[in-house]
A and B are shown apart, each in its own frame.
Chain A
Amino acid sequence: MNRRAALKAMVLASLPGVAGCGSRRDGKVVIRFWNGFTGPDGGTTLTLVRQFNRANPGIDLRMQRIEWPVYYRKLYVAGLGGRAPEVFVLHTDSLRRFAEAGMVRPIDDLVGTAFPVADIDQNVWRAAQLGGKHYGLPIDVHPLCLYYNRRLLREAGFERPPTDLAEFLAVARRITRASRDPEGVRWGFSISNPSPTVYSVMRQFGGEVFTSDYSRCTLAAPANVAALQLLADLIHKERVAAPFMDFDPWVGFRQGKVGMTWNGIFMLPDLQKQKDLDFAAAPVACLGKRPAVWGNTHNFCLRAGLAPREAEAAWRFIRFYSDHALDWAEAGQVPARRSLRASRRFRDMAVQSQCAAEVPYVTYMPQIPFLFEFQTELDLAVERALRGTATAAEALATAEANVNKIIARRSAEGAAEVRR
């Protein structure tokens, strides 16, 4: 029995009586579209969905938004029960989990020759691939970027943001200012998105978090330890980064008390609302020996087992969305297609066009089925080291041991090995 049949049997044994959907009324093809765009990006998507429905009278596209963590839970269970929507969004690091469960339809036949595949960056397109098939169309890349407070940098005597460790430390030191008055405090740096920030630096140091076949976790490798220790030292030794958790690193940046912070490009709309903040963005500085930055991609995917007519309609929507990715980029994204990035309109988006430079070396989280369990351990290790309750080496050693226990448990349970 192959994986899919096993899953199906299990589902039928446990959840009979669950009807699939995909109904039609008055000849219209009904396409349900789920995503987690509950923030400002949801408004953009809604506009695009309306446009699409107007332009395609034969299709009734219905969108639903659920916040990401709940979304993934519901999508997975709905998939098991055969209630998954026709079109849904998967982040690159979650793609494998759903593809291996047999819930996603490969899109290679639909892409065919009509879609300009070469327009998508190789690394991004490859990440949507598994066993030679592509399971989703990458719409965007959303890496971390370096947001900086232009006024604070200028006051400290810098005209441009730092690009390497030496410059980074110099800027951070010059900006940091202790004060008893909370309004007077200034921090050179704040870690407002901890695990992605740490992961970026680990990769900049050349660290890998798993062996290449995912059979063993290598979180405690020297490069990873050095990366995490560097960030912890920024807080505790250098004292140029805001203390972890006793200071809201993101609100602090919005309030103008922080010189630099690394956060997702998708946080841009939040900053644009802060009228009194003079900010700009740049690619994150390389604190190690090679450029790398955490990022992720929204892949638009189709449910496995679609009827040809549904698949055609769904693909038309995905294609439409990809073609309109510049509208999408306004909400704080970098389009995955180079031709769109070369457009005048995109080059006028200051932050987005800056971060587009990061696309070639963007690095995804490992594509493992037990992503949540891994992330729990990584988050904990990061938290311990940044709070200073453990050294980076201790924290990562514990995390590595725990992740290896998860791997051992899973292989004892006969879970198929993760293929690259």
Chain B
Amino acid sequence: MKTPRRFGSRPDRAKPAGMGRLTLLEAAMLLGGLLFLAPIAIIVLTALKPDSEIVHFGSILPRHATLANFGRVLATPEEFPIARWFANSVLVSGATSLLVVTVDALAAYGLARLNLPGKRWVFGLIVATLMVPGQILLTPVYLLLAWLGWLDTYQALIVPAGAGAFGVFMLHQFFLAIPRDIEEAAMIDGCSRLRIFLQIVLPLSRPALATLGIFTFVGSWNDFLGPLVFLDSAEKYTLPVGVAIFQSSYYTEYGLTLAAGVICTLPILLVFLAFQRHIIEGIAMSGLKD
């Protein structure tokens, strides 16, 4: 059978004629990918340059590579306690993920599976807030936190994050896709709803929960405005704010600020490389609603 196969989009193709086009396409994709990664490579390379090479631009590659910038960023723990900020970021992001995953999983299960009165209305309201820009809540939430006496505490960064609607929405869609029969079988066996949730639904949803957890972790790690506004004490800062402060102090020293940026970025890149499948598929999942 002669099939005019010209479009390289199917996995079963292996004709040498199309191979050339595939390679061309792939070359383009490769080039584009490198272009996207280039800024990150350049930031690392520039951070390795001594100050004099940065002020007199010669080439992208450092002529005399040095770790001096990194050394100086890490050398003044009293002034810039990067390790402390790092630990804060881990603590805040970790606690936020835990809170969000727990609370959102419970809520999403209730809304997806239980016969709650008025749940369509409640779910609709939750989904509608997806388009509320976070910044417009800044002032009211600030006043609320002040009223609670939570300003300049870690929980000011953690607890409000639990109100976000994204996780509920995402897990709701995921739970809907789990076949009901399994739960119904368990129900007939006399399991309580909580046990069904804990012993059947949760294990089945591990990938979705992991995705939400990583997602929240990264979002919280990268949050800038929250810590900037809610925290006062330098020893409570998270990395992005710390690095921003660092940058404003050394704004004429690009080498130092770039090195600080690299230090702030590395952990998140590692998380990404380790979990990239989860992260990317999680985002894809959020886009493909019913």
Contact = CB atoms under 8 A, between A and B. Distances in A.
A38 interface: yes
B245 A67 contact: yes
A66 B231 CA distance: 11
Contacts of A254: 55, 252
A274 B152 CA distance: 39
B56 A255 contact: yes
B148 A17 contact: yes
Contact of B79 (A14, A16, A43, A83): A43
B232 A83 contact: yes
A38 B248 contact: yes
Interface in B75-103: 76, 78-79
Contact of B143 (A14, A42, A74): A14
A254 B79 CA distance: 26
Interface string A291-315: 0000000000000000000000000
B51 A273 contact: yes
A232 B258 CA distance: 34
Nearest to A50: B78
Contacts of B232: 64, 66, 74, 78, 83
A15 B79 CA distance: 31
B250 A39 contact: yes
A70 B228 contact: yes
Contact of A15 (B55, B147, B152): B147
A295 B56 CA distance: 31
B146 interface: yes
B151 A18 contact: yes
Contacts of B152: 83
Contacts of A70: 228, 245
Interface string B147-158: 111011000000
A79 to B, nearest CB: 12
A17 B146 CA distance: 8
A14 B249 contact: no
A19 interface: yes
Contacts of A274: 55
A16 B146 CA distance: 8
A251 B250 contact: no
- Interface size on B, as a range, is 20 to 34
Interface in B108-167: 143, 146-149, 151-152
A319 to B, nearest CB: 24
Interface in A254-274: 254-255, 270, 273-274
B235 to A, nearest CB: 8
Contacts of A42: 79, 249
A251 B147 contact: no
A391 to B, nearest CB: 31
B49 to A, nearest CB: 15
A39 B249 contact: yes
A39 B76 CA distance: 12
Contacts of B233: 64
B234 interface: yes
B149 A17 contact: yes
Nearest to A18: B149
A69 B147 CA distance: 24
Given A64-B233, A65-B234, A254-B55, A270 B79 contact: no
Contact of A14 (B146, B149, B151): B146
Most A CB within 10 A of own CB, among B146, B151, B152, B228: B146
Nearest to A75: B232
Interface in A40-92: 42-43, 46, 64-67, 70, 74, 78, 81, 83
A317 interface: no
B245 A270 contact: no
A346 interface: no
A307 to B, nearest CB: 22
A327 to B, nearest CB: 17
Nearest to A250: B252
Contacts of B248: 38, 67
A369 B42 CA distance: 44
Nearest to A32: B233
A43 B76 contact: yes
Contacts of A78: 232
B223 to A, nearest CB: 16
Nearest to B56: A255
A19 B55 CA distance: 48
Given A46-B78, A74-B232, A273-B51, A67 B148 contact: no
Contacts of B146: 14-15, 18, 81
Interface of B: 51-52, 55-56, 76, 78-79, 143, 146-149, 151-152, 228, 232-234, 245, 248-250, 252
Q: Which 8 A-B pairs have the closest CB atoms?
A: A38-B249, A15-B146, A17-B149, A67-B248, A39-B249, A64-B234, A270-B252, A74-B232
22 contacts: A14-B146, A15-B147, A17-B149, A18-B146, A19-B149, A38-B248, A64-B232, A66-B232, A66-B234, A66-B245, A67-B248, A70-B228, A81-B146, A83-B151, A83-B152, A83-B232, A254-B55, A255-B55, A270-B252, A273-B51, A274-B55, A276-B52
Interface of A: 14-19, 38-39, 42-43, 46, 64-67, 70, 74, 78, 81, 83, 250-251, 254-255, 270, 273-276
